[in-house]
Copies of this chain bind each other. A is one copy, B any other.
Amino acid sequence: MTKPRYHHGDLRAGLIEAARRLVEAKGPERLTMSDASRAAGVSTAAPYRYFADRDALLDAVALEGMERQRHAMQAGGDSHPPGSDAAISAIGLAYIGFATRERGVFRLMFSLTRTHARHPQLLQTGRATFGVLLRHLAQRDGVATDDPSVLARGLKLWTFVHGLSFLLIDDKVSAMEIPLDLPATVADATRRFLRDD
């Protein structure tokens, strides 16, 4: 058994991890600093050494989530030929898979109103995530990632997987009693958005 130490070791990371678990268990809006502190084994004032306020801790949880989601998407794309329909579908499925595995964190990632002004790192990470998709689309057509047609297709694909993620984590699909073959649906949408006519 580990002795309770005055100094935590890495409290910042410990708090982010504790907060991540709590966000997942009870939803972002139910997270309290008290709970996070208790879970990390410190007093309620300790977090303020590392995070300006509650929102700053949530920002950190969101950022960490964005990075994990991006890695999942990267891995999904890498397991298929670059720029192929299969690769692009896999990226979308990885996006949705992250959302459904980590509803709380995913919801948090997209509930930070006007957060970009407050925390440019979140914007940067968001761009990197979108870039995973853009690179495959650009490769497919042999153009640059900021080509207007790549951006337009990227937006439509992102829109679709983003929307489906939300409908799934809000249980709308089941509430409306809609049968769903997720991989087939994502593949279908990918094919429809990528065809030229």
Chain A residues within CB distance 8 Å of chain B: 27, 29, 107, 110-111, 113-114, 116, 123, 126-127, 130, 148, 151-152, 154-156, 158-167, 170-173, 175-180, 185, 188-189, 192-193, 195
Contact = CB atoms under 8 A, between A and B. Distances in A.
Contact of A162 (B166, B175, B188): B166
Contacts of A195: 192
Given A111-B107, A163-B164, A170-B110, A156 B185 contact: yes
B155 A159 contact: no
Contact of A167 (B159, B172, B173, B185): B159
As for how many copies of this chain the complex holds, the number is 2
Given A158-B167, A162-B166, A113 B175 contact: no
Contacts of A127: 175-176
A110 B158 contact: no
A193 B160 CA distance: 11
A151 B166 contact: no
A51 to B, nearest CB: 17
A24 to B, nearest CB: 12
B123 A175 contact: yes
A46 to B, nearest CB: 24
Nearest to A151: B178
Contact of A27 (B113, B123, B160): B113
